[in-house]
Amino acid sequence: MPAIETTGPVVPRVMIAAPHGRSGKTVLTLGLLRALCRQGCAVQPFKKGADFIDPGWHTVAAGRTSRNLDRYFMEPDQIRAVVRGASAGADVCVVEAAMGLYDGLDAEGSTSSAEIAKITATPVVLVLDVTRMTRTAGALVLGCCAFDPDVRIAGVILNRVRGARQRALVTEVIERTCGIPVVGAVPADARLNVPDRHLGLVTSGETDERERLLDGIADVVAEWVDLDAVRAIAARAGELPAAEASTDAVPQAARAGAHGEAASEVAASAPTGAQASGVTGPAVPAGVVRGDADAARATIAVVRDEAFSFYYPENLAALECAGACLVFVRSLGDEALPSDVDGLYVGGGFPEEFAEQLQANEAFRRSVRERAEHGLPVYAECGGLMYLGRRLVHRGRSYDMAGVLGLDTVVQDRQTAHGYARAVVGASGSWPDPGMVLVGHEHHHSQATDLDPALRFAYAVERGRGIVPGFDGACTGNVVAGYLHVNALASPAWAPSFVRAAERYRARRSAR
- Just list the catalytic residues: 382
Q: Using an 8 Å Cβ cutoff, are 395 and 418 in contact?
A: no
Q: Using an 8 Å Cβ cutoff, are 321 and 96 in contact?
A: no
CA quadruple 258, 114, 485, 445: dihedral, nearest 10: -120
Taking the mean position of all CA atoms in its chain, how far away is CA 296?
Answer: 26
Residue 59 region by backbone torsions, left for phi larger than 0, else alpha for psi between -120 and 50, else beta: alpha
What sign has the CA pseudo-torsion 135, 136, 139, 145?
A: negative
Q: In whole angstroms, give the CA distance from residue 288 to residue 380.
A: 20
Question: Could you tell me which of 450, 370, 346, 446 has the C-alpha nearest to residue 407?
Answer: 450
CA terminus-to-terminus distance, the chain:
64
Q: What are phi and psi of 86, to 5 degrees?
A: -70, -25
Q: Where are the beta strands (DSSP E) in 347-478?
A: 348-349, 378-381, 391-394, 397-400, 408-411, 417-425, 437-444, 446-449, 456-463, 471-476
Helices (H), 17-89: 25-38, 53-62, 76-86
Spell out the SS3 assignment of 236-248.
CCCECCCCCCCHH
